[in-house]
Structure 1
Amino acid sequence: MRNAWRWLGLAGAVGVAAGGVLVARDQRQRNAYSADDVRERLHRRHEEAQARDAADPPS
């Protein structure tokens, strides 16, 4: 039984490390955009959302 707890603890530590890697990678990708890039993407997404709303008005 003691060995099972060791494996469970090891699996938990690996999971926490993997989560940290994913968070760090995501943060690096977000920081790679300049303010102008972010603004342009937001404007484009807003225009796409407006186009979807105009094409499918609420009932």
Structure 2
Amino acid sequence: MRQRVRWWKVLGLAGLAGVAASGVVIARAERRRRAYTPEEIRERLRERHAQANEAADSQSPQT
């Protein structure tokens, strides 16, 4: 009976560590995302828009 309780404790602690680690990863990604200036965001959106237009133009049938 004692051995079974220990395994549950180990599994519980491992799960808790996993939740904490994923929280750290999410926080870092959020910080990195918020580090962009508004002008950098606009520039990236313009680049994506231009790429999307190029892709759409290349896939449309030529008449």
Fold match by TM threshold 0.5: yes
Percent identity for Structure 1 against Structure 2: 45
Say whether residues 1:17 and 2:20 are aligned partners: yes
CA distance in 1, matches of 2:19, 2:11: 12
Quote the RMSD (CA, aligned, Å). Answer: 1.2
Unaligned runs of 5+ in 1: none
CA distance in 2, matches of 1:52, 1:8: 49
Unaligned runs of 5+ in 2: none
Question: Any runs of at least 4 consecutive aligned residues in structure 1 with deviations exceeding 3 A, and if so which?
Answer: none
Q: Which one of the candidate residues 3, 27, 36 is aligned to 2:6?
A: 3
Structure showing greater Rg: 2
What secondary structure does 2:60 align onto?
coil
The two structures have a TM-score, normalised by structure 2, of: 0.84
Say whether residues 1:42 and 2:45 are aligned partners: yes
CA distance in 2, matches of 1:49, 1:22: 30
The two structures have a TM-score, normalised by structure 1, of: 0.89
> How many residues are paired up?
58
CA distance in 2, matches of 1:26, 1:17: 15
